[in-house]
Amino acid sequence: MGLILSKFGGRCIGDVEELAKIKNIIRGDIAIPGTAGTTTPDIPGTAGTSAPERRYIVVSAPGKRSEEDQKITDLLYLCFSNIEHNVPYQQVFQVVCERFLAIAAGLGIRIDLAGEFLAIQKKMEHGGTEDYIASRGEYIMAKILAAYLDMDFVDAEGLILFDKFGRLMEEETDRAIREELEKHETAIIPGFYGTLPDGSIKTFVRGGSDITGALVAKAMHADVYENWGDRSGFLMADPAIVENPRQIEHMTYAELRELSYIGSPMMPEASIFPVRRAGIPLHIRSTEDLSNPGTLITTEPSDIRCKESELTGVAGSANFAVFSVFRGLLGGEKGVLRKILSVFEDWDISVEHVPSGIDSLSVIVSADAVEGKEDEIVDELRRKIRPENVVVERVALMNVVGSAFYHRPGCAAKTMTALAKEGISLRMIDQGASEINIILGVAPEEFETAVRAIYKAFEG
């Protein structure tokens, strides 16, 4: 029987009704539909699984229950800020305590939260660091969930290990997790934090519970890493642009990375890297809709030739700037690319793309990164390159992604035809070496029309 590592976060943590669903999921008391589609691989635990497979659970701090609500972690950061500025923090901390007490009462469990709150408060008043205070939301929630599910509480302190510079020590963390969890048949582990060599608490960036989940999944050689949160899965396009886009049922890590490359990242790279490298499937789910099979992400497509859709997704942003440098035979000049890129490096600006021609070379960067610096960058380019002209314009980039592109002829033609029918002129086109994506540049004002046209061409 396979092992599933489940991480729970978002609104489902802290809402009593959703926590009851989590209990049913862990115990296998309810049937859970498996991964959608008939072409996805048979992965243990994705369809109507029972309790023995979901043995280790990583938990976040309670999130918002409504738009007006506040996240527990935000309140704890506010506590630290108040202490740091000699402002009373007790009222804010009381809100945190009452939220946890209400959760425990709603679940009908007995747990000494008063003692935990007193210990945290003493630490807060006597040198508790920002990371320590912020981490207590996960710590208390894991304690509550362990009592509710009758599972062992295993603290992340001493398991997730950082060096003195705050860098994760992967091998040591791997070993510490495995050695500790092998002592426990079942366990609840708080996410988001670990330990520095001096024993003090160190947190990940926000959303760090996803990283903890991935690290535990990798260390325990899980068959699947389930990430339960506020969304049931990823969509093929931005719903603010495309009306009711289809959900992505199955995608590869390579496709996920491409869709996150331009536009808003679907998930932070740090939260998927451990499982991606270990070849462990990632399953995005939500307790709010257990009938939704979610999005399954695997290292390789199961049978990409049989995928119903050629398109996996289209993502992008209208917020890019292109610096085009013109001079006769510029493209063939030795060292010119290095000189041009060094200008952006000096300004600490990441370069997205470098389209080139025989007499021109363009550099595409985030418009936000160069805001207020365009004139100085142009002056520097003129000084280093002595071009005939330098033009700065805005451009929108789209990444059209699909593993099927590699196998099926005509996908690029279908994309270009869709844009031509809308009268949209391409400013740039680039196909990645993997041949699973096509990056297109269009005028910013045509971006949303272009996204809708491409989606319609593939999905009808």
Walk me through the domains of the chain, giving residue ranges and CATH numbers. Answer: 4-301 (3.40.1160.10), 313-459 (3.30.2130.10)
Among 34-48, 222-236, 275-289, the minimum mean pLDDT is found in: 34-48
DSSP state of 57: E
- In this prediction, residue 317 carries a pLDDT of 93
Higher per-residue confidence, 412 vs 41: 412
Q: What gap in Å lies between CA 83 and CA 87, rounded to an integer?
A: 6
434 pLDDT exceeds 80? Answer: no
Token code pair at residue 55:
């043995």
At residue 140 the predicted structure's pLDDT band, cuts being 50, 70 and 90, is very high
* CB proximity list for 302: less than 8 A, separation 6 or greater: 39, 40, 41, 250
Q: What gap in Å lies between CA 178 and CA 172, rounded to an integer?
A: 10
Which pTM value belongs to this model? 0.87
Per-residue DSSP letters for 115-153?
HHHHHHHHHHHTT--HHHHHHHHHHHHHHHHHHHHT-EE
Q: Please state the rounded mean pLDDT for residues 446-459.
A: 95
Token code pair at residue 80:
């630290």
Pairing status of strand 152-153 against strand 187-190: parallel
Q: Please state the rounded mean pLDDT for residues 233-252.
A: 93
- In this prediction, residue 49 carries a pLDDT of 44
Strand intervals (E) in 9-138:
54-59
Strand intervals (E) in 2-133:
4-8, 54-59
- In this prediction, residue 132 carries a pLDDT of 97
Q: Element (H or E) spanning 282, and its range?
A: strand 282-285
At residue 50 the predicted structure's pLDDT band, cuts being 50, 70 and 90, is very low
Q: Contact 402/250 with Cβ under 8 angstroms?
A: no
51 pLDDT exceeds 80? Answer: no
* CB proximity list for 253: less than 8 A, separation 6 or greater: 272, 276, 282, 297, 298, 299
pLDDT tens digits, 203-219? 998 778 999 999 999 99
Q: What gap in Å lies between CA 133 and CA 164, rounded to an integer?
A: 19
Count of Cβ atoms closer than 10 Å to residue 318 Cβ? 20
Per-residue DSSP letters for 381-441?
HHHHH--SEEEEEEEEEEEEE-GGGGTSTTHHHHHHHHHHHTTPPPSEEEE-TTSSEEEEE
CB neighbour class for 367 (10 Å; exposed up to 12, middle 13-18, buried from 19): middle
Q: What gap in Å lies between CA 153 and CA 143, rounded to an integer?
A: 6
- In this prediction, residue 301 carries a pLDDT of 62
Mean pLDDT computed over every residue of the chain: 89
Q: What gap in Å lies between CA 299 and CA 437, rounded to an integer?
A: 16
The half-sphere exposure of 249 on its side-chain side, counting CA atoms within 13 A, is 18
Q: How far apart are the first and last CA of the chain?
A: 41
At residue 307 the predicted structure's pLDDT band, cuts being 50, 70 and 90, is low
pLDDT tens digits, 109-130? 989 999 999 999 999 999 899 9
304 pLDDT exceeds 60? Answer: no
- In this prediction, residue 143 carries a pLDDT of 97
- In this prediction, residue 33 carries a pLDDT of 63
101 pLDDT exceeds 50? Answer: yes
Q: Contact 322/356 with Cβ under 8 angstroms?
A: no
Amino acid code (one letter) for 320:
F
* CB proximity list for 457: less than 8 A, separation 6 or greater: 414, 415, 417, 418
- In this prediction, residue 162 carries a pLDDT of 97
